[in-house]
Amino acid sequence: MTPAPTLPLLGFAAWSGTGKTTLLEQLIPLLTGRGLRIGVLKHAHHDFDIDQPGKDSYRLRKAGAQQMMVASRRRHARITETTHGETELAEADFRQLLASFDQTELDLLLVEGFKHEHFPKIELHRAEIGKPLLFPEDRDIIALASDQPAETTLPQLDINDLEAIADFVCSWFDGCQTREQEAGNGFLSVEAARNAILAALTPSTACSDKPLPECHGAVLAADLISPINVPPHANSAMDGIGLRSDDLAAGRWQLVGEVLAGQQRHEPVLAGQAVQIMTGAPLPPGVDTVVMREETHIEGEWVTVTAPVRAGQNVRQAGEDLAKGAVAIPAGTRLAAPQLGLAASLGLGSLPVRTPLKVALFSTGDEVQAPGELLAPGHIFDSNRFTLMALIRAAGCEVMDLGIIPDDKAILRQQLEQAAASADLVLSSGGVSVGNADFIKLVLAELGQIDFWRIQMRPGRPLAFGKLGQTPFFGLPGNPVAAMVCFLQFVEPAIARLQGKLWQPLRLSALADEKMKSRPGRTEFLRGIFHQDGNGQLRVRTTGPQGSGILSSMADANCLIEIVPAQSGIAVGERVWIHPLQGRLA
C-alpha cells in the first residue's frame, strides 16, 4: 500500500491555450535556483506516449510488458500500462501517483492538470484567451496570475513577471513549513508515535507446548518445520485411469488392476498397461499420468482415451503441499483454522505457542461507575473497560480486570504497582488529558517513565505511554471512541510487537460517497461503512455524527476512514483510505 504524500502540493489551473507548460518551464529554474527541489506531476491526454516506436523499451512494452522500466546511470523511467487488452482500467489514482515520487528527495510538488483534485492552485489567466476566471468557482485557487487586474481579494500577480510568481511560490512554501512546525509543536504524528512505541518494546519470549485443540488463537513460538512430505506419496488428483507417460502413443491399454485411496500397489505398471485409480490413491510404480474417467472409454479389459493427454497430468506430487524440512508455519503466526489443519496434517498433536500476554485494565475517574449500579447524579457508566476488554481479547491476550480506580492517590499507586508486577501490559482509560487532575500523572511519574503525548489525530489526541518499571503502560483517552481508535492505532500494534508478530492491518482505497471534513496537518479517523458497488468499486460513507463520545457511531462502523494530514477534507467521489475492522473488534 502506498503511503500518503506529505510534501506541499501546488497546482496551476488555467484554460487551455494560456501557456501553463511554458510558464512552468520558466518558473522551475527560478525555484530550483532558490534551493527548492521540485517534482512535477502533469496530466496528459489519455493515449500519450513518452516512448518511441523502434526503441528497445517500446518494443518490449508492445510485446506485452505491463510495466516497463528503462534505467541508466543518469535517469530512469517506468511506463505503466493501465489498459489491459481492450479494457481500460480506472484513471490513475492521484494519491498513488503522488506517493510514487521519492518524497525524501523533494521539497515541493508542482501539479499541472488534475483539476478535479483538491489542493492549493495558482490560477493563470490571459485576457486574449477570452475566457472567464476559474476563480471563485474553483475554491482551491489561492492566487491569480493574470495580465489584467481582476475584482478579487486574492493575491494578484503579473503573469509575465516570473520573478514575482517565484517569490509568491517561495513565501507560500515557507508558510507551509511554518504551519507544519507550529502544528508539530509538542505534537506527534500518528506514525511518529507508533514508531516510538514499537521501538520501546521487545517481544516476550514466554512459551509452552499446548495440545492442538487449545492452540486456536495462540501465537506460534517457533517456525514449524515439516517432519514429512505432504502428500507423502505422489497420488491421483482424479478418479480415472493411471498410465505411463512414456507409453502415451500406445492409444489402447490393458487394465491390470485397480488402486483405491488408502491402498498401495507395489507391482509396476508396464508399457501397454493401465490401472483404474481413485482420487488420493498413491500412484503405482511406472504410473505418472492420470486420465479422468469421463475422458476414457472402457471395453472389457481394454481402455482408450477420448481427449488429448499431457504427460504428468492430474497428479499431485509428493511434498507438493509441504516439502519435508520446509517451514510449514512461520513463528509469530496467529493460529487459525488453516494453520491448525496444517499442523494436524503433519501429524503434530501439540505446538509450541507463546504464553498469552496478560493485560491489566482499569478505568479512572470519580464520575465513572460500573454498569449494574444505580447511577449517581452527574455520573456516567464505565463503557471503556468493556470495549477495551473485548479488544484485548480480540488481539489474543488475557484480561486482568482491575475495575474502576477512584481518584485517590494512595489507591492508584498501590493498584498500578501491583498491575505492573503481575501483567505484561497495563492499560487505563481517562485522566490523561492536559486538564485532568494531576495526581495520576504524579503517580505515574513516581512509578516509571511516562510521556504525555498530544498526537496529531482526531479523535484521541491525549495519549500517555511509557513504562511502569519494566512493564509497558498506555493511558488512553477517556472519550469512548477516542479510547477505541487509540487502541486500534497504538495498542494493537504494541500487542503485536510483544507477541512477536508483524502488525500489518489492511488499508484499502475507496471512493467517498459523501463530503468529509478534516483539518490539514492532522490525521482524522472517521467511523465509516464501506461496501462494494456493482462495478466492484469500494465506496465509503460515514456513520453520521462523529463526536468522540458517540459510541454508537463505532457500533455501526465496519471501517475507520483515514484522512491523512495532507488532505484538507474529502470531496464526494474523491479517494480516501479505509481500514476495515473485520476481525479486529470481535
396 binds, among Mg ion, ligand AMP, none (CB under 5 to 8 A by kind): none
Query: In whole angstroms, what is the distance from residue 219 CA to residue 582 CA?
Result: 19
418 in contact with ligand AMP (CB under 6 A): no
Q: How far is the CB of 545 from Mg ion (least distance, A)?
A: 18
Q: How far apart are CA 173 and CA 449, in angstroms?
A: 38
- Under the binding rule (CB under 6 A), the answer on residue 459 touching ligand AMP is no
> Mask 468-507, x = binds ligand AMP (CB under 6 A)?
---------xxxx---------------------------
CA distance 446 to 122: 54
* 430 near ligand AMP (CB under 6 A): yes
Phi/psi for 221 (5° steps) reads -85, -25
SS3 assignment, position 555: helix
Residue 363, binding choice from ligand AMP, Mg ion, none, Cβ under 5 to 8 Å by partner class: ligand AMP
Q: Which does 431 bind (CB under 5 to 8 A by kind): Mg ion, ligand AMP, none?
A: ligand AMP
Q: Find which of ligand AMP, Mg ion, none residue 444 binds, CB within 5 to 8 Å per kind.
A: none
367 part of the interface to ligand AMP, by CB under 6 A: yes
Residue of the chain from 384, 518, 543, 567 that contacts ligand AMP (CB under 6 A): 384
* Candidates 129-137, 283-291, 347-355, 520-528; binding stretch for Mg ion (CB under 5 A): 520-528
Helix (H) or strand (E) holding 70: strand 67-71
Q: Which does 518 bind (CB under 5 to 8 A by kind): ligand AMP, Mg ion, none?
A: Mg ion
Q: How many CB atoms lie within 10 A of CB 445?
A: 13
The one of ligand AMP, Mg ion, none whose footprint includes residue 189, by CB under 5 to 8 A per kind, is: none
* Closest approach of ligand AMP to the CB of residue 388, in Å: 9
402 touching Mg ion, by CB under 5 A: no
Cβ nearer to ligand AMP, comparing 221 with 368: 368
Cell numbers at 343, concatenated:
499442523
Q: Is the Cα dihedral 34, 36, 37, 41 positive or negative?
A: negative
Amino acid symbol at 110: L
Q: Which of these, 454, 474, 468, 453, lies nearest to 362 by C-alpha position?
A: 474
The correct pick among 365, 466, 493, 500 for binding ligand AMP (CB under 6 A) is: 365
Question: Residue 433's binding partner, choosing from ligand AMP, Mg ion, none, with beta-carbon cut-off 5 to 8 A by kind?
Answer: ligand AMP
Helix or strand run (H / E) with residue 20: helix 20-33
Instruction: Please state the closest distance from residue 350 (CB atom) to ligand AMP, in A.
Output: 40
β-strand partners of 398: 358
- Helix (H), strand (E) counts: the chain: 12, 37
Choose which of 152, 317, 333, 383 interacts with ligand AMP (CB under 6 A).
383
Q: Does 382 bind ligand AMP (CB under 6 A)?
A: yes
> What is the gyration radius of the CA atoms in the chain, in angstroms?
32
What is the number of the residue whose Cβ is closest to ligand AMP? 478
- Read off φ and ψ for residue 194, nearest 5 degrees: -65, -40
Distances (CA, A) of 62 to 52, 85, 251: 11, 11, 43
Footprint (CB under 6 A) of ligand AMP, residues 335-354: none
Query: Which three cell numbers mark 550?
Result: 458517540
Closest CB 384 distance from ligand AMP, rounded Å: 3
**CB-based contacts of 159, cutoff 8 Å, min separation 6:** 23, 124, 125, 126, 145, 146, 147, 165
279 within 8 A of 332, measured Cβ to Cβ = no
Q: Is 553 in the site for ligand AMP (CB under 6 A)?
A: no
Place of cell 509396476: 268
Residue numbers of the site for Mg ion (CB under 5 A)?
518, 524, 563
Residue numbers of the site for ligand AMP (CB under 6 A)?
363, 365, 367-368, 380, 382-385, 429-431, 433, 436, 477-480
